[in-house]
Structure 1
Amino acid sequence: PNRFFPDVLANPRLKIAHPKHLMEPLIEKGEVSVAPSDIGLVGLGPFMFDSYEPGSIIRLRHFDRYFEYDSEANRLPYLDGIDYIITPDPVAMDIAFRTGRLDGTARGFGHYLTEERRRGYLESLGDDVFFTQMEGGTFRLAFNVLKPGPWQDARVRRAIALWIDKKAAIPAVLGGFGWTSPDISPNNPYKDKKFVVWPKFDLASLEEKRAEAKRLMEEAGYASGFTMGYLTRARQVLGGQFLKDQLAGLGIDLQLQIVDEGEWNRARVSLDYDTQSGSLSVLPIPEGTEGVYGRFSKSPNSYSKHEDTEVDRYYKTLKDATTYDRRVQVWRDLQKYLFVDQTYIIPIAEMTYVVAYRTYVKGLVIPPEDGHTFTDFAAVWLDKGEK
């Protein structure tokens, strides 16, 4: 048993919308693929699902039996409803926001603002716009060590980790907003700094690290390099191109295998590819990370594809830890094992998510991390009398 299971379950990425009284009869009839959308998206939130026009708009409307009240005994939510305009193209979203069609920009990879787009907002809107920042996901390289190739050698994986110029990824891949290991995010004052995702390692200069990378490649018998594949989503091709350019200096010809979302969702849980970026962000609860760091046979969604039972042992020790300090130490040891000793995963840079809102949007609660949180907007109102 995991005593932190309630914390893990509270993660907003684990969306539970399967009421038994509606789902069970359908499943018993053989409709085993029934989804929450098939039964009207039943939930406990402040807004009800109203309508969905594919490719256009999703409408939510005020739920008059929502359970929360404000400090003056007014029932929440304040808003009559929310219209989510579907804008796959970030440029189209920027135009809609700057022309007044949207009150806020979207949360989602590709839609979060870059430095350049943020400057454009300020130039055109001035004091009529404000910006929020959240800790985001990780730009990473994860190895499939179950697939034959030079990357099965831990020395090769370690050499790649040492060679990559992580700080260069911030402007090149993350739009200028982010930070790298071993830095602590400047955006989250509430995070317990003892539980930062990356312990402090690899503190040598880039020149020193690259010299060691070449030594390791030669020791492993790959001084002349090799060819390696990298699975990447079409909407994240900048990361793949960055890695391709970086690893060329180590003699590695990185072949980008760019796929659409359908193939991505199939391929990332398969053993078909040499390396990949991985999906989803790491959960803030250490005990909840086994799904992305653990063995492939237990979790095909793991970033790295491995069958290392030592990782199982670390997680069991972590779950059995009875003191806070012991949890911290085991968590740090596990990360060193994953990122340094074995280098199954290379965390390159952590994203900072930037979202814009019009200044008349009031009552927002901005999460310190993870853009999937604080999205009920129960206490939000629009004060359009104020610019």
Structure 2
Amino acid sequence: MTNNKLIYFLILLNFINFSCNKNYKTEINNNKQIFHYNQPAGLYSLDPAFARDQAHIWVVQQLFNTLVSFDDSLNLLPSLAKSWEISHDGCRYIFHLRDNVFFHNDKCFENETRKLIADDVVYSLQRLADEKTASPGRWVMSPISTNNNNLSVKAINDSTVVIYLKKPFTSFLSILAMPYCSIIPREAIQMYGESFSHHPIGTGPFVFKYWKKDVKLLLAKNENYFEFDSLGNKLPYLDGVSISFIKDKQVAFMDFLLGDFDFLSGIDPSFKDILFTDNGELKPEFKNKYIFQKSIFLNTEYLGFLISDDTPFNNKELRKAISLGIDRISMMKYLRNNLGYPALYGFIPPILNPLDSSNKYLNYDPHYAKQLLIASGYMDMPNKPKITLLTNDTYIDIAEYIQNQLSKIGLDISIELMPPATLRDLMFKGQAQFFRGSWIADYPDAENYFAIFFSNNIPPKGPNYTHFKNNTFDELYLSLLKTSNADKYEIIKQMNKILIEEMPVVPLYYDVSIRLLQPYVKGLNTNPMNNLNLKYTKIVN
């Protein structure tokens, strides 16, 4: 569909009575409050052990709970655990569980359901750490002590769990808030095995009802959910969630305009100029039709290199030439309508690196980039390997921009498009030499960004997809994990400078969260991790 057709359709929409769309939608839902959204990336599993990207995280957070959770300001709150204590040495965590949490009704239980107990926590975390599970989130269990390959996680009684760490780790509670650490029942895995990924049983605000891959996923209200709002009203408010999987983002955009979807997250390049001004604000003609939400998003978009003897990127001059050969400021202005910020300070967003937030290390410098390219020796190689940037179609405009920018310093690259899931698989297997990636913070600390450069986190142990290794960096990383006071910012500054010097990735921009909501959607707030918290969402007539 061309932009001209979209513009024609938008003109047509001015003659449509918006309230008729809402009334029609309410009628077909039999007056039920059903929240509709589209997920173009698709899903392959509803098992929280495989919730490694935002598409999967959003669904997992509706179906499951963790011991602790984040609010919209990223403060840690009790969830399945009502309270906890931490030992003076920082190596022992004692969690006290709620006594009113039940798993979703299912035939895997003798009596349709049962109460959550401490053994479920032990089982869930051990399963996440088990090599046989092959979870991409296995690495988050690495701070926990082990004994004969078993985690040091003990159930003292049905309502008390103790977790022992190898050494102090100041962000351990934040780790436990990650969807990977969701609590599941042993019975469900015993009955469904690998099919658990298509038949999830959790404790979350919504229960699984139906899934036809790439067509529709339906969730229903959990009538036995344990949480209440501040006025004592039972959560969630919604009766259900309906998720579609329309891959054509222009078609999905038109469906949103028609009122078939309740919110739109992220802005595709094909229609950004229709909605937004050059400065990233919603155009006046849409301000009275939709709720516009824009907020900080702890997501860094970047280009990654596989650093090994088998690739041309085992050469930091070449990596730095590519980085300094890209004009990030112009890229954000012309390709993203300034919806985001050029990554001039390094991989870590400045908000997490306050001691080094004024040094623009990555300003555009094509002259120096050419010098570095020559110094790298790549151009003089008799049979120099072809450089191909792997990405998906959402980022084709940025890939083509980078291709054009690098040609100006004398470096020719090609572009290969592939589905997001295929690219993630190649990155995990160490088969993606040059790729566009995103790092969305699992929790709001710089150490979470640095985790993807720690040498012990090379897959399958963790998310170090570049295979970057640096002994000094590793030592600083381990020191950072046990530092909780202002001293950590000096460590962060040192680690950032190592990444600037070695350039295992090319930071492109710091993202912002962009959402458009229908005017009848209430209680859906933004947050810096762009989580989708539907517990408090309402559809208001």
For this structure pair, what is the TM-score category when the shorter chain's length is used for normalisation? 0.7 to 0.9
Shift of 1:344: 0.9
In structure 2, distance between residues paired with 1:366 and 1:298? 32
Q: Select which of 473, 476, 486 maps to 1:325.
A: 486
Greater mean alpha carbon deviation, residues 265-274 or residues 225-234: 225-234
In structure 2, distance between residues paired with 1:113 and 1:205? 29
Query: Secondary structure at the residue paired with 1:138?
Result: strand
Matched, 1:346 2:472: no
Q: Select which of 405, 417, 428 maps to 1:269.
A: 428
In structure 2, distance between residues paired with 1:83 and 1:76? 18
Query: Per the alignment, do residues 256 and 130 of structure 1 end up closer, same or farther by CA in structure 2, a change over 3 Å counting?
Result: same
| Alpha-carbon contact 1:7-1:285 (below 8 Å) kept | no
Give aligned-pair identity as a percent.
19
Q: Return 5+ residue gaps in structure 1 as ranges.
A: 185-190
- Give the CA RMSD over aligned residues: 3.3
In structure 2, distance between residues paired with 1:370 and 1:62? 24
List per-residue Cα deviations over 1:253-303 (Å, max 9, x = no partner): 112232234531321123334311235424422333354222276335324
Q: Select which of 172, 190, 213 maps to 1:5.
A: 172
Query: Per the alignment, do residues 57 and 46 of structure 1 end up closer, same or farther by CA in structure 2, a change over 3 Å counting?
Result: same
Query: Per the alignment, do residues 198 and 277 of structure 1 end up closer, same or farther by CA in structure 2, a change over 3 Å counting?
Result: farther
Shift of 1:200: 3.9
Q: Which amino acid aligns with 2:509?
A: A
Q: Which amino acid aligns with 1:331?
A: I
Higher relative contact order (CA 8 A, sep 6+): 1
Q: Which amino acid aligns with 1:312?
A: D
| Alpha-carbon contact 1:144-1:275 (below 8 Å) kept | yes
Q: Which amino acid aligns with 2:171?
A: F
How many residues were matched structurally?
A: 362
List per-residue Cα deviations over 1:339-381 (Å, max 9, x = no partner): x1111111111222311111221122211x222x1x2311222
Matched, 1:116 2:278: no
Query: Secondary structure at the residue paired with 2:402?
Result: helix
Shift of 1:210: 2.2
Q: Which amino acid aligns with 1:231?
A: L
In structure 2, distance between residues paired with 1:243 and 1:224? 22
Matched, 1:201 2:359: yes
Q: Select which of 246, 255, 271 maps to 1:87.
A: 246
Question: Which residue in the other structure is 1:215 paired with?
Answer: 371
TM-score (norm 1): 0.81
Question: Which residue in the other structure is 1:21 paired with?
Answer: 187
Question: Which residue in the other structure is 2:221 paired with?
Answer: 62
Query: Per the alignment, do residues 73 and 260 of structure 1 end up closer, same or farther by CA in structure 2, a change over 3 Å counting?
Result: closer
Query: Per the alignment, do residues 149 and 43 of structure 1 end up closer, same or farther by CA in structure 2, a change over 3 Å counting?
Result: closer
List per-residue Cα deviations over 1:234-266 (Å, max 9, x = no partner): 443223222211111111111223223453132
Question: Which residue in the other structure is 1:128 paired with?
Answer: 289
Q: Which amino acid aligns with 2:313?
A: W
| Alpha-carbon contact 2:522-2:540 (below 8 Å) kept | yes
Question: Which residue in the other structure is 1:334 paired with?
Answer: 495
Q: Return 5+ residue gaps in structure 2 as ranges.
A: 1-166
In structure 1, distance between residues paired with 2:374 and 2:406? 15
| Alpha-carbon contact 1:296-1:305 (below 8 Å) kept | no
Q: Which amino acid aligns with 1:22?
A: A
Query: Per the alignment, do residues 381 and 343 of structure 1 end up closer, same or farther by CA in structure 2, a change over 3 Å counting?
Result: same
Q: Select which of 203, 217, 236 maps to 1:77.
A: 236
Shift of 1:108: 6.0
Query: Per the alignment, do residues 350 and 198 of structure 1 end up closer, same or farther by CA in structure 2, a change over 3 Å counting?
Result: farther
> Pairwise mapping of residues 1-387 of structure 1 onto structure 2 (< 5 A)?
1=167, 2-12=169-179, 14=180, 16=182, 18-23=184-189, 25-26=190-191, 31=193, 33-37=194-198, 40-105=199-264, 107=265, 110=268, 114-118=272-276, 126-136=287-297, 137-174=299-336, 176-182=338-344, 193-195=351-353, 199-202=357-360, 206=364, 209-222=365-378, 227-283=386-442, 284-295=444-455, 298-299=458-459, 301-321=463-483, 323-338=484-499, 340-367=500-527, 369-371=528-530, 373=531, 375-384=532-541
| Alpha-carbon contact 1:129-1:359 (below 8 Å) kept | yes
Shift of 1:171: 4.2
Query: Secondary structure at the residue paired with 1:241?
Result: helix
TM-score (norm 2): 0.60
| Alpha-carbon contact 2:328-2:508 (below 8 Å) kept | yes
Shift of 1:126: 4.8
Question: Which residue in the other structure is 1:188 paired with?
Answer: none
Query: Per the alignment, do residues 122 and 358 of structure 1 end up closer, same or farther by CA in structure 2, a change over 3 Å counting?
Result: farther
| Alpha-carbon contact 1:247-1:253 (below 8 Å) kept | yes
Query: Per the alignment, do residues 258 and 364 of structure 1 end up closer, same or farther by CA in structure 2, a change over 3 Å counting?
Result: closer
Shift of 1:194: 4.8
In structure 2, distance between residues paired with 1:303 and 1:333? 22
Which one has the largest radius of gyration? 2
Query: Secondary structure at the residue paired with 2:263?
Result: coil
